[in-house]
Amino acid sequence: HDLRNEDLKDIRELGQGNGGSVKKVEHLPTGTIMAKKIVLIDAKPSVRKQILRELQIMHDCHSDYIISFYGAFISDPNICICMEYMDKGSLDGIYKKIGPIDIDVVGKVALAVLEGLTYLYDVHRIIHRVMGTDIKPSNILFNSKGQIKICDFGVSGELINSIADTFVGTSTYMSPERIQGAQYTVKSDVWSLGISLIELALGRFPFADSESDDSDLSDFEGTLSPSRPNPLSLQKAKEQRDKKKKRKSKGVSLQGGGMTMSILELLQHIVNEPAPRLTPEGRFPKEAEDFVDSCLLKDPDARKTPKDLLKHPWIEHARSSTFDLEAWASTF
Ligand code: ADP
Ligand code: MG
């Protein structure tokens, strides 16, 4: 039935992203626990209504690898999107808590993301309406049943446009061709998956150098644009860094008066340098190394689609593996 804000009781905040915040809530009439994403939209009522219409397609998405959708509504000046609550949170939170993720789990993550993407493209042709799915560890969710699901795929072109006005969508998970302005294709998501898998297996963002702290660069996601730096976001990013600096005494290469690697340098690095790999050599199964290499082919024409990658030996192995994700979930 129709969701109303009055029926939702806040339980706690789950996190904040660049476009808004996510809260754990209870739908009082039914007792259902949900995750409510609140997106501040500075747009005309007609645009808000259009966004709401576009979001309705999520009602038709039914897959074990896609977060379920309960409904969306306007709560001026926000749009609220209510979705399935995943009690173990996102994979970035998990590795920051427990350290590098077991490679068997990483294989199951790869399988789930490929299945989810293939479902979205094949069943709903979501790629044709929108700009992408934004694959990154914070958009891959996990629960205590051992399920892995993706969220925040761009079903609403209008929503993406509206957010882009305030938060320019330059992501450090972005493929070299998209950084260079090429059109979005399914192959771009495959690149983002490759970067995410290395991040999970190593327990740090792959582009940070090894002795420095991990996540600071990935935190720049969406906050900057090479062509249009947003002063407010810049300020926010700086505050976040300063906060981290206070919390951790460990030296971080990004900090200090000038950053060692700015977001611009990072984007240039992604375009010009060889892609990261699952290293050191020999630490991970050969099949895993090979899978990640094929996700991170810099030429999008050489990169495979999610559907083709489902046939990769490492993914077939993950599919038949008896690794117990539910048991693993109970360890943290
Ligand atoms: P981002 O994905 O960039 O971190 P979001 O606003 O999309 O920003 O989400 C903020 C955080 O809220 C995520 O990092 C994730 O940990 C948490 N979150 C989002 N959706 C859910 C959900 N359905 N269930 C549980 N936690 C969620
Ligand atoms: Mg998200």
Would you give per-residue pLDDT tens digits along the chain (332 residues)? 689 999 999 999 999 987 789 999 999 999 999 999 998 887 888 888 888 888 888 899 999 999 999 999 999 888 999 999 999 999 999 999 999 999 999 999 999 999 999 998 888 776 544 445 689 999 999 999 999 999 988 767 777 777 665 545 557 898 999 889 888 788 999 999 999 999 999 999 998 654 444 444 554 443 333 333 333 344 444 455 455 444 433 323 333 334 457 888 889 999 999 999 999 999 999 999 999 999 999 999 999 999 999 999 999 999 999 999 999 999 99
Q: Ligand 1 centre from 301 Cα, in Å?
A: 32
Contact 110, 197 (CB under 8 A): yes
- Is the preceding omega at residue 176 within 30 degrees of 0, hence cis? no
Q: Is 252 left (phi over 0), alpha (psi -120 to 50) or beta?
A: beta
- Cα gap 66→150, rounded to integer Å: 5
With a 6 Å cutoff on the Cβ, whether 138 touches ligand 1 is yes
- β-partners of residue 79 are 39, 74
pLDDT at 48: 87
Contact 106, 200 (CB under 8 A): yes
Q: For residue 226, which amino acid is it?
A: P
pLDDT at 113: 97
**Residues of the binding site for ATP:** 37
With a 6 Å cutoff on the Cβ, whether 203 touches ligand 1 is no
With a 6 Å cutoff on the Cβ, whether 22 touches ligand 1 is yes
pLDDT at 213: 42
CA dihedral 204, 208, 211, 212 (to 10 degrees): -90
Name the catalytic one among 92, 134, 216, 219. 134
pLDDT at 216: 47
Q: Ligand 1 centre from 272 Cα, in Å?
A: 31
Phi, psi of 35 (to 5 degrees): -105, 125
> Tokens for 67?
């977060």
With a 6 Å cutoff on the Cβ, whether 159 touches ligand 1 is no
Helix axes 45-55, 157-166, angle to 10 degrees: 130
Contact 278, 200 (CB under 8 A): no
Sheet holding 20-27, edge to edge: 8-16, 20-27, 32-40, 78-84, 69-75
Residues in CB range of 113: below 8 A, 6 or more apart? 65, 135, 140, 148, 150, 193, 196, 306
Q: Which helix (H) or strand (E) holds 275?
A: none
Reply yes or no on whether 165 is catalytic. Answer: no
Contact 198, 206 (CB under 8 A): yes
pLDDT at 131: 45
> Tokens for 10?
């806040």
- β-partners of residue 122 are none
pLDDT at 211: 40
**Residues of the binding site:** 37
ipTM above 0.85, yes or no: yes
Q: Is 14 left (phi over 0), alpha (psi -120 to 50) or beta?
A: alpha
Supply the pTM of this predicted model: 0.86
- The residue among 103, 167, 37, 51 whose CA lies nearest residue 323 is 103
- β-partners of residue 32 are 27
Q: For residue 140, which amino acid is it?
A: I
- Cα gap 279→100, rounded to integer Å: 13
Q: For residue 304, which amino acid is it?
A: K
Q: Ligand 1 centre from 35 Cα, in Å?
A: 9
Could you please report the per-residue DSSP string of 217-274? TGGGTTT--SS---HHHHHHHHHHHHHHHHH--S--TT-SSS-SS-HHHHHHHHHHSP
pLDDT at 227: 36
Say which ligand is closest to the CA of 36.
Answer: 1
